[in-house]
């Protein structure tokens, strides 16, 4: 059974030449969405891919920053509208920590008419997850962990597939040693790389609690990762980003490096 990762967006919060970082995990004909970008551009990305909302029944929101959470409001609105018209079969579940639960509920209460609000808790479920909690999502063992952010509470997660292969998502901040048990020896590690190390003085990633492609490569090598995927980058040189970021990470990492463009598809297993 194949698993495919589809990047909906690959940029950081303030990019204008690509979409904010979020992605789909495709298993057979069903999709799990992870984060949603900063607005209704998420609908455009799904339209470009030809992904029907009726095939998306699960969404993980890692944290409450604008570039990760606001697109979820549009997804909820769209699905509620489809439920009103009896065009969406089954349920839609959002997995997130307590602070994000409160934020999403507040947005919905402030912005949605009653005809859409009635589906929150009755067809559309906002499910709180806790640090260390394990769930089965779409037939995939999913473990959530607090990344110990000093900015805003954020959860990462680890997928374990039916063949034992693993994928760890660090969210949009650098690896924290507290989460070693979830990350070490994974087949895939998804990591932010705000910029190149060579450009650190220009973009100042460390002041923003981010890292560089070189830092991510060093981390992946230390943790014995097989495949490193870099995203959440600046967008000033998209044409050459793939080569430049790959080369920098590969200079210190012996595994495979992927630096995808928006809408790019990558076979995970």
Residue 258 belongs to a domain with what CATH number? Answer: 3.60.15.10
Nearest one of 13, 9, 15 to 44, comparing CA atoms: 9
Three-state SS at 178: helix
Each as own residue / partner, the long-range contacts of residues 199-207 (CB below 8 Å, 24 or more positions apart, any chain) are 199/234, 203/234
- pLDDT at position 84, please? 98
Domain that holds residue 50: 3-267
Cα separation of 268 and 186, whole Å?
12
Q: Is the entire prediction scored with pTM above 0.85?
A: yes
Which of 264, 265, 247, 261 has its CA nearest to residue 17? Answer: 261
How many Å separate Cα 67 from the centre of its chain? 11
In this prediction, residue 200 carries a pLDDT of 98
Measured distance CA(251)–CA(242) in Å, rounded: 14
pLDDT at 113: 97
Residues 156 and 171: beta-carbon distance below 8 Å:
yes
What pLDDT is attached to residue 1?
63
Q: Domain total for the chain?
A: 1
Which residues of the chain fall short of a pLDDT of 70? 1
DSSP calls for 200-258: HHHH-TGGGT--BHHHHHHHHHHTT-SEEEEESB--TTHHHHHHHHHHHHHTT--SEEE
């Amino acid at each position: 059974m194949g698993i495919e990762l589809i990047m909906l967006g690959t940029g950081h919060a303030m990019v204008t030449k690509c979409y904010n970082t979020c992605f789909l995990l495709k298993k057979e004909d069903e999709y799990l969405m992870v984060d949603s970008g900063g607005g209704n551009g998420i609908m455009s990305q799904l339209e470009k891919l030809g992904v029907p909302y009726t095939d998306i029944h699960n969404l993980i929101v890692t944290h409450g920053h604008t570039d990760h959470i606001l697109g979820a409001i549009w997804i909820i609105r769209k699905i509620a509208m489809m439920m009103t018209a009896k065009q969406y079969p089954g349920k839609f579940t959002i997995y997130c920590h307590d602070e994000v639960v409160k934020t999403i509920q507040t947005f919905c209460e402030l912005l949605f008419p009653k005809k859409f609000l009635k589906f929150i808790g009755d067809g559309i479920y906002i499910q709180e997850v806790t640090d260390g909690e394990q769930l089965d999502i779409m037939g995939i063992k999913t473990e959530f962990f607090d990344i110990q952010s000093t900015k805003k509470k954020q959860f990462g997660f680890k997928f374990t597939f039916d063949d034992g292969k693993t994928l760890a998502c660090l969210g949009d901040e650098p690896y924290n040693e507290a989460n070693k048990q979830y990350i070490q020896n994974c087949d895939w590690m998804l990591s932010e790389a705000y910029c190149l190390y060579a450009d650190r003085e220009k973009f100042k990633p460390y002041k923003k609690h981010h890292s560089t492609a070189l830092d991510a490569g060093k981390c992946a090598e230390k943790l014995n990762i097989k495949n490193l995927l870099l995203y959440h980058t600046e967008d000033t040189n998209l044409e050459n980003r793939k080569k430049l970021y790959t080369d920098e990470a590969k200079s210190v990492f012996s595994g495979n490096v992927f630096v995808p463009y928006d809408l790019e598809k990558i076979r995970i297993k």
